[in-house]
């Protein structure tokens, strides 16, 4: 154990939980990949399993590297990363891969690797870091909307607007979590209501603009509308998937059919990603589903413990900011499978296949472990008002 603590800093319970989720993920991913092989004629099951393995290996490299960085550097890092993220989002919006001809440009292709990168997931982590920095720097002040407009809400608004055309669900989730983080960070509730009103106005204006000029973003509003209208419809593509997911869950019973014995995986197009929880319930039953749910709840509990023990306000807000989206995403994925929420495209963190989701989850967990590994000794050199370039120079 002492040798392990030499290399793995921070909360060992978090390390154990994420390792457990990663190891468990191989079984449902391998099982669900048969859909891609025999129905979609895409690769081999061993090939998909190996790809998932390599994505997780790289993810744990990201965790290990990130958790070795003193968390104070993420304050300045967020300021420097935000313009880069905006540039990537703009590039993705203009040149990203189109999904199904619906102008859902969410991905850019990583050269020489053949893996798509969803820039909105990186934007989510960076935004939470940036908002945490702002709230920590103003922890002893009464924050006004006018004062925070340029420093906080303008960068947040620009980033969310760049995500919105291609990914409404991610935009809505991020907006909600940012508001929740600002409330926790002491931002006045009355002014948060102003922000909600402004956000609703901007969204309405955006939808009316797209409806008036449909050639700007073909099918986007129609896609959002159809997803809501077809929430409970079995004839739509989303309704079809939800119906098959409900059948998988219903036939899972208490103990499930057994590993690899799912039937509905052959009918669910997103069985290894968006609807993998349904496959887990079908194969491992209610017992497996509850264990997965409890694992995420225990992970959330450890995030709360780390936040409470954080050496600074920034550390506490940082853990909450990057930790909550992981748990929130897991709950939404499970909720979609049981038809509580409309189909959103949110994956099950560290279990679903997909590189970007795994990597950004690992990046966020690495940040949390960095905070939990801090003993507070470096805080004498931490100034929340420091210039980002000065902090970068100090880090180098």
CA–CA distance, 87 with 80 (Å, rounded to integer) = 12
Residue found under tokens 């893996």: 115
Using the predicted structure, report yes or no on whether residue 132 has a pLDDT greater than 90.
yes
What is the dihedral sign for C-alpha 139, 141, 144, 145?
Answer: negative
The C-alpha atoms of residue 184 and residue 304 are separated, in whole angstroms, by 13
> Does residue 20 belong to any structural domain of this protein?
no
Grouping H, G, I as helix, E, B as strand and the rest as coil, residue 244 is: helix
Residue 262 located in a structural domain: yes
- Asked, for residue 284, whether it belongs to a domain, the answer is yes
Cα 43 to Cα 36: distance, rounded to the nearest angstrom: 7
The tokens of 40 are what?
A: 């979609």
Average predicted confidence (pLDDT) for the chain: 82
Give the domain extent around 295: 26-395
Element (H, E) at 122: helix 119-137
Total domain count, the chain = 1
Confidence of residue 313 (pLDDT cuts 50, 70, 90): very high
- What is the reported pLDDT for 43? 67
Considering just the CA atoms, what is the radius of gyration of the chain in Å?
Answer: 21
Sign of CA dihedral 109, 111, 114, 120: negative
Model-level pTM?
0.87
Give the model's confidence band at 390: pLDDT under 50 very low, under 70 low, under 90 confident, else very high.
Answer: very low
d(CA 331, CA 322): 15
30: left (phi over 0), alpha (psi -120 to 50) or beta: alpha
Which residues face 110 on adjacent strands? 115
Span 118-124, average pLDDT: 89
Token pair belonging to 36: 């891609």
Q: At what angle do helices 12-34 and 45-67 cross, to 10 degrees?
A: 160
Coil/strand/helix, residue 347? coil
Residue 9 belongs to a domain: no
Note whether residue 167 is domain-resident: yes
Asked if residue 19 belongs to a domain, the reply is no
> How far, in Å, CA of 352 to CA of 273, rounded?
5
User: How many C-beta atoms lie closer than 10 Å to residue 184's C-beta?
Assistant: 16
Which of 342, 313, 307 is closest to 327 using CA atoms?
307
Q: Which of these ranges, 27-36, 161-170, 179-188, 209-218, has the smallest mean pLDDT?
A: 209-218
pLDDT of 243 reads 83
Which residues touch 50 (CB under 8 Å, ≥6 apart)?
Answer: none
> Is residue 7 situated within a structural domain?
no
List, as own/partner pairs, every contact residues 5-13 make where C-beta atoms lie below 8 angstroms and the sequence separation is at least 24, other chains included: 8/64, 8/67, 9/67, 9/68, 9/369, 9/370, 9/372, 9/373, 10/67, 10/306, 10/368, 10/369, 10/370, 10/371, 10/372, 10/373, 11/302, 11/305, 11/306, 11/368, 11/369, 11/372, 13/298, 13/302
**Is residue 131 a contact partner of residue 80, using CB atoms and an 8 Å limit?**
no
Give residue-wise pLDDT tens across range 96-105. 655 444 444 5
Residue 8 lies in a domain: no
């Amino acid at each position: 154990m002492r040798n392990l603590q030499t290399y793995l800093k921070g909360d060992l319970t978090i390390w154990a939980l994420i390792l457990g989720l990663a190891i468990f993920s191989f079984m449902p991913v391998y099982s669900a990949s048969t859909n891609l092989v025999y129905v979609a004629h895409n690769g081999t099951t061993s090939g998909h399993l190996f790809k998932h393995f390599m994505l997780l290996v790289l993810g744990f490299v990201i965790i290990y590297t990130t958790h070795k960085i003193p968390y104070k550097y993420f304050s300045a890092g967020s300021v420097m990363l935000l313009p880069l993220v905006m540039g990537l989002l703009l590039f993705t919006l203009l040149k990203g891969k189109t999904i199904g001809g619906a102008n859902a440009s969410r991905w850019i292709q990583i050269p020489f690797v053949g893996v798509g990168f969803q820039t909105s997931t990186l934007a989510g982590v960076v935004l939470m870091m940036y908002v945490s920095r702002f709230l920590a720097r103003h922890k002893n002040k009464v924050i006004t909307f006018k004062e925070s407009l340029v420093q906080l809400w303008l960068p947040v608004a620009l980033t969310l607007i760049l995500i919105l055309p291609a990914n409404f669900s991610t935009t809505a989730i991020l907006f909600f979590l940012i508001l929740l983080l600002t409330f926790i960070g002491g931002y006045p509730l009355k002014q948060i209501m102003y922000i909600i009103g402004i956000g609703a106005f901007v969204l309405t204006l955006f939808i009316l603009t797209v409806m008036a000029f449909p050639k700007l973003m073909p099918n986007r509003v129609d896609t959002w509308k159809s997803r809501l209208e077809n929430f409970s419809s079995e004839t739509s593509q989303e309704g079809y998937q939800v119906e098959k997911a409900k059948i998988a869950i219903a036939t899972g019973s208490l103990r499930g059919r057994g590993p690899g014995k799912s039937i509905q995986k052959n009918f669910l197009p997103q069985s290894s990603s968006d609807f993998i929880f349904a496959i887990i319930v079908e194969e491992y039953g209610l017992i497996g589903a509850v264990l997965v749910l409890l694992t995420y709840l225990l992970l959330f509990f450890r995030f709360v413990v780390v936040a409470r023990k954080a050496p600074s306000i920034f550390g506490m807000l940082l853990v909450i900011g990057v930790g909550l989206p992981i748990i929130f995403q897991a709950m939404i994925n499970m909720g979609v499978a049981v038809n509580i929420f409309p189909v959103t495209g949110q994956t099950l963190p560290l279990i679903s296949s997909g590189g970007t989701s795994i990597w950004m989850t690992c990046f966020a967990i690495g940040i949390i472990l960095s905070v939990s590994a801090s003993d507070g000794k470096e805080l004498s050199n931490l100034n929340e008002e420091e210039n980002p370039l000065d902090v970068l120079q100090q880090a180098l």
